[in-house]
Amino acid sequence: MKRHTAFHETRAALEAGEATCEGITRQYLETIEKGKRLNAFLAVFPEQALGRACAVDRKLAGGTAGRLAGMVIAVKDVLCVKNERVTCASKILKNFVSLFDATVVRRLEAEDAVIIGKTNMDEFAMGSSTENSAYGPVLNPVDESRVPGGSSGGSAVAVAAGMAHTALGSDTGGSIRQPASFCGIVGLKPTYGRVSRYGLVALSSSFDQIGPFANAASDAARVLQVIAGHDENDSTSARMPVPDYLAALDRNIRGLRIGVPREAFIDGLNAQVRTALERVLDRLREGGAVVEEVSLPCSEFVISTYYILMTAEASSNLARFDGARYGYRSSGARDLTENYVRSRSEGFGAETKRRIMLGTYVLSAGYYDAYYLKAQKVRRLIQEDFLNAFRRVDCVCMPTAPTTAFARGEKADDPLEMYLSDVYTVSANLAGVPAISVPAGSDDRGLPIGAQFIGRQFDEATILKIADFLES
């Protein structure tokens, strides 16, 4: 696949007067139009985007442009953009229009980014393939017979297919990193609390984080710089200083300690993924990093712990979609209870219903202690695994996914198989730590492989630095 422009090249062309923001936006709109069959977008905003781009060009000429002037960005349709629909790729929110902007959207626009549209996704961000959208599956631009990963598949494809410089996704258990890996781009899940979730439709509130997809680590750093930081509208957003991420990208990794968990190189791991990871580790050693083995003893419990806790939180969060307050309402109901039952039965897709039922079950009086409470305790142990590892190393490296992009339909009828593709990503969400997926070559079919780096809480700088080093 063709290599797409990193933002600093665009910015240089803008400053040299060789390009305009309007022209760049037009190009992206054309690429979106040509790539329609990929189904990456649920909504495109041509007039608004071009109008904003012209305003940005005037600011550039006047020397008052913001840090992201010239950047064209797509946002996952789980984020609110004022006066635009926010569907979460569900039928239940088909015509629901947002009354306000998510904090991340407001911050991006304040720095003059141009929002080009809303991207397709698995319904309510549940899935690993973007086949669960009520508006049809998204295709992987590297090989259209394959899935792009999920749940932020549309955002990953928008960046990988050159339909935007960058895109925002949400990551509850891997939904930024896994599709980034399957599409051959960079995907960053920040520390829990680093980025405000105000205006992000909640899937599982103690896991969800918003983060960027990009063609280069420096682009991810620029976007994170703008969206990170405390927000009074989200009490879980941290009052922590936001460091200068671009300044951290000095390509000097000498002395950096990188831990490789012995539990990560499991039997199900594809041999080509393993080889690619070994090559990445060799390059890091050549750059002066110290690679050593660490242990994350609870690794075998991460999938079960994640799927108990995330379904519990999801079942509670999704109770608000009741056919009375938001979106779709069934026309056939004769009383209130029937309205709830019918609206939810008709409005939600199969995977969403499965998770609501699972979550309700693990929270029910008879099973709460055995499942929910137990899983909360194991979550604590998983966090401690990371704390222990980070006493010895600065970050942990493992694959992003056990395989490369799988064929469309391959796992669609086997939810457990699908859940297992999250085996390397969910632990960072359980522990609340930041993690990035970076391109690490491809397999013999040309399908991209991703290497994942997991950092200490609030230390996005180190993992961005490694990602940037690997691009050199």
Active-site annotation, residues: 76, 151, 175
Q: Total residues at the site for ligand GLN (CB under 6 A)?
A: 14
Contacts of ligand GLN in 179-208 (CB under 6 A) = 203
Q: Which amino acid makes up residue 133?
A: S
Residue nearest to ligand GLN (CB): 175
Whole-number Å distance between alpha carbons of 91 and 93: 5
Please state the closest distance from residue 104 (CB atom) to ligand GLN, in A.
16
Residue number with CB closer to ligand GLN (128 or 427): 128
Contacts of ligand GLN in 49-108 (CB under 6 A) = none
HSE-up of residue 52 (Cα within 13 Å, Cβ side): 24
The b-or-e profile of 171-189 (16+ CB within 10 A means b, else e) is bbbbbbbbbbbbbbbbbbb
x/- binding map, residues 124-163, to ligand GLN, per CB under 6 A?
Answer: -xxxx----------------------x------------
Q: Rounded to 5 degrees, what angle do the CA atoms 125, 130, 132 make?
A: 75
Using the rule CB under 6 A, is 440 a contact of ligand GLN? Answer: no
Using the rule CB under 6 A, is 450 a contact of ligand GLN? Answer: no
Whole-number Å distance between alpha carbons of 331 and 39: 29
Q: Rounded to 5 degrees, what angle do the CA atoms 448, 451, 456 make?
A: 150
Among 39, 87, 175, 305, binds ligand GLN (CB under 6 A): 175
Among 162, 173, 211, 323, binds ligand GLN (CB under 6 A): 173
Whole-number Å distance between alpha carbons of 55 and 22: 9
Residue number with CB closer to ligand GLN (298 or 358): 358
Contact stretch for ligand GLN (CB under 6 A) within 9-17, 171-179, 362-370, 455-463: 171-179
Please state the closest distance from residue 178 (CB atom) to ligand GLN, in A.
7
Q: Dump the DSSP string for 214-258.
A: ESSHHHHHHHHHHHBS-BTTBTTS-------HHHH-----TT-EE
Residue number with CB closer to ligand GLN (208 or 394): 208
Residue number with CB closer to ligand GLN (174 or 327): 174
Please, where are the H alpha helices in 63-152? Answer: 103-110
- What residue ranges bind ligand GLN (CB under 6 A)? 125-128, 151, 170-175, 203, 310, 422
